[in-house]
Amino acid sequence: MFQLPSLPYAYDALEPVVGETTMRTHHDKHHKTYVDTLNTLLAEAGRRDETLEEVVRKSDGKLFNNAAQAWNHAFFWESMAPKAQPPEGDLVKAIEAAFGSQAKLKEKFVAEGAGHFASGWVWIVAKEGELKVISTHDAANTLTEEGLTPLLVCDLWEHAYYLDYKNLRKDFLEKWFDGVANWTFAAAQYSAALGKGQAYRYPKPDGQTAPLAKTA
């Protein structure tokens, strides 16, 4: 069984950029439903002992959608932090090399997310050490493309911002980028992309790896 990861901060910690009600609904209802459905589908299919990353890479249809959405949301919670600090060190150099400046990265990130049609996700990714901004549709994510390491993601589904911003997705993205984007997490992911340390992994399933009981 995969577990719903706890938020790494309080429900109201991202106020006023992301409201407490949004966080409670988003985590406790939307994310939980993806995880619950994922577990049901895996049980029905008799699949066990896989990491969520493996499930995402080896699935399609309904199972892919729920597995990828479970992963994306967990990664999204890590992509935000209260009192977020600006980027430092190697990450700053990579941002300047790819975009010119942090302000230009923001411009590109907001334009990509605001211009993305319907539901999906906007990402900052590293590929062969170079940073890019991309967006993916619906549940699609970076796990299915070889060599991509995600640094940060923002949820573009309306449930992520509608209570706080109504239809103003661009406003949400600007405030998100300036106020809660977790550059400390992004820097760790960038290091992993360069081969230093481990990139984010979803918590392993529990209750499936115990040795079989000995028969008499």
Nearest distance, CB of residue 69 and Fe ion, angstroms = 7
Query: Smallest distance, Å, CB 216 to Fe ion?
Result: 49
**C-alpha to C-alpha distance for 187 and 81, rounded to whole angstroms:** 13
- For Fe ion, the closer CB: 62 or 159: 159
Q: How many chain residues are in contact with Fe ion, going by CB under 5 A?
A: 3
Cβ-based nearer residue to Fe ion, 76 or 190: 76
Distance from C-alpha of 52 to C-alpha of 38, rounded to nearest angstrom = 10
Beta carbons of 169 and 156 less than 8 angstroms apart: yes
Question: Token digits for 184?
Answer: 């400390």
Q: Which of 111, 148, 131 is nearest to 183 (CA)?
A: 131
Q: Measured between alpha carbons, how far is 162 from 2 in angstroms, rounded to an integer? A: 28
Q: State the nearest-atom distance from the C-beta of 48 to Fe ion, in Å.
A: 27
Question: Closer to Fe ion at the Cβ: 110 or 156?
Answer: 156
Q: Give me the least distance between CB of 26 and Fe ion, in Å please.
A: 6
State the Cα–Cα distance between residues 93 and 145, nearest whole angstrom.
25
Binding characters for Fe ion, 129-168, by CB under 5 A (x = yes)? --------------------------x-x--x--------
Residues contributing to the site for Fe ion (CB under 5 A): 155, 157, 160
